[in-house]
Amino acid sequence: MRVLLVNDTDKPIADLQEALRQAGYEVLPQVAGGGLLKAVQDLQPDVVILDVDSPSRDTLEQLSMLNRHAPRPVVMFSADGDEALIRDAVGAGVAAYVVDGLAPARLAPILRVAMARFEQQSHVRQRVDELEQKLLDRKDIDRAKGLLMDRRGLSETEAYAALRQQAMKQGLKLADVARRILAMADLLG
C-alpha cells in the first residue's frame, strides 16, 4: 500500500513516516500542499494523508479536483475542528477527518476506515453513474419511439418493436439504435 504524505504544517512528521513503514506501508516522497493532483497522478498512491493546521480554500479546491480526476482515499489530520470546515473537507472528498493530533498508533485503523469508506463511496458513485446512463438511454429510446410514431405512423408498441428489431439486426444496444435514429433525424431535419 503506497501512501503520499502532504504536510502543510511546521511539525516534523518523521514519527508518522516511521509508523507507516512499520505498519507495512510504502511511504512516497513527501510533497508540499501545492500541486496535489499532479503529485497523485505522477506517484499513483493508494492513500493520501494530509496534515494541516486548518485546510485552506486552496487545499479544499485541490482535494475536489483530486476527487474528480484521480479519486483516492484521503485522510486529513487537522487542528481545526470547525464543523463547517469538516463538512467542506468531506464534500471535497476527504474520507476521514481527524482532529487533535496525528498519533502514529491510531494511524492504521484510521487508514482502514478511510479506505473502506472510499470504497463504499466509489460503489455508490458507480451505481449513480449507471442509473443516470439508464435514464439517458430511456429518454433517447422514448424520443426515438416518438419520432417513429410521428414519421411512420406507428403505435408505441410497433415503434418499440421496430427499434428492438433494428438493434438485434445490427447487434447493438437499443439505446444506441435510438441515438442513431435521433442523429439521422437531426441530420435530415
CATH number of the domain that residue 175 is part of = 1.10.10.10
Query: Looking at residue 66, which CATH number applies to its domain?
Result: 3.40.50.2300
Q: Which domain holds residue 133?
A: 128-188
Where is 65: in which H helix or E strand?
helix 57-69
Report the predicted TM-score, pTM, of the whole model to 2 decimal places: 0.69
Can you tell me the mean pLDDT for 138-151?
96
Same domain, 134 and 64: no
Q: Considering the domain boundaries, does residue 27 fall inside one?
A: yes
CB 45 within 8 A of CB 72: yes
Tens of pLDDT, residue by residue over 23-66, are 889 999 766 656 888 889 889 999 999 888 888 888 899 999 99
Same domain, 158 and 68: no
Q: Considering the domain boundaries, does residue 122 fall inside one?
A: no
Tens of pLDDT, residue by residue over 66-95, are 999 989 999 998 888 899 999 999 999 999
Choose between 109 and 167: higher pLDDT.
Answer: 167
Confidence bin at 106 (pLDDT 50/70/90):
confident
Tens of pLDDT, residue by residue over 170-185, are 999 999 999 999 999 9
Residue type at 24?
G
Q: Considering the domain boundaries, does residue 110 fall inside one?
A: no
d(CA 32, CA 182): 50
Domain count, the chain: 2
